[in-house]
């Protein structure tokens, strides 16, 4: 084996080993996340306070695209998302999820606030305020929601995950100015366990391959002495 081939094998083996470490780490993270599910099978955030002086709080676009994960895309159960909101001033609250394009049309010209980023520890939300002067149609009559709930006290939506672009809205049920609510979210991801073990299995194979290539590259070429 010449030096060029030996170097190529060593580089390939090193890359395979690095990919293996990433796969094993990702698989372990997925299994750890699966172990944190509550008795209902959900991974949940803490309940935190969100406020806005506008007529609605909305998330940025949530892009759900599972097309590249074959075993997930072929499943009949992609999981569920739950969002819970409760007004801090006892107003009837509305919480809903809809296609992002529908939400953008619904909030067009309406003063609303987008939650751009969230830091967990300590909790901090970054907001972007959008100006406007229009009063929206009552959310219960908007006809755009894939899941929604409204009323006094704690309100929850439970939505079966589907491919597409979606946004979540929390607002006062009458569309009035000033949203002040305690909000939490949860996700039931039934494929986390399968994803974790698949990644670990693939990582183990890649690690064995990578080590084998490195060992092969390190072997010295035997000199054959004629008899």
Q: What are the sequence ranges of the domains in the chain?
A: 3-31+193-218, 39-190
Q: What pLDDT, in 10s, does the model give residues 202-218? A: 766 666 766 666 666 66
CATH architecture of 39-190: Sandwich (2.60)
Q: Which of 93, 86, 78 is nearest to 166 (CA)?
A: 78
Give the tokens for residue 119: 């830091």
Query: In this predicted model, what pLDDT tens digit does every residue of 89-139 receive, in sequence order?
Result: 889 999 999 999 999 999 999 999 999 888 777 788 889 999 999 999 999
Residues β-bridged to residue 113: 57, 129
Tokens of 11: 């580089």
Residues whose CB falls within 8 Å of the CB of residue 225, separated by 6 or more in sequence, listed in order:
none
């Amino acid at each position: 084996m010449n030096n060029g081939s030996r170097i190529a094998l060593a580089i390939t083996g090193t890359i395979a080993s690095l990919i293996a470490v990433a796969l094993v780490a990702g698989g372990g993270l997925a299994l750890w996340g699966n172990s944190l599910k509550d008795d209902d099978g959900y991974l949940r955030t803490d309940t935190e306070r969100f406020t806005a002086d506008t007529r609605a709080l909305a998330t940025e676009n949530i892009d759900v695209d599972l097309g590249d994960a074959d075993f997930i895309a072929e499943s009949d159960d992609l999981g569920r998302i739950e969002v819970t909101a409760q007004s801090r001033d006892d107003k009837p609250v509305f919480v809903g999820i809809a296609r992002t394009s529908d939400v953008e049309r619904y909030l067009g010209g309406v003063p609303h606030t987008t939650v751009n980023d969230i830091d967990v520890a300590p909790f901090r939300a970054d907001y972007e305020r959008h100006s406007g002067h229009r009063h929206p149609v009552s959310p219960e009559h908007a006809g755009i929601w894939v899941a929604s709930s409204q009323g006094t006290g704690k309100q929850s939506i439970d939505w079966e995950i589907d491919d597409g672009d979606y946004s979540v809205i929390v607002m006062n049920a009458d569309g009035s100015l000033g949203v002040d609510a305690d909000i939490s979210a949860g996700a039931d991801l039934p494929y986390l366990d399968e994803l974790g073990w698949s990644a670990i299995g693939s990582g183990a194979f890649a690690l064995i391959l990578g080590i084998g290539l490195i060992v092969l590259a390190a072997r010295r070429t035997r000199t054959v002495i004629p008899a």
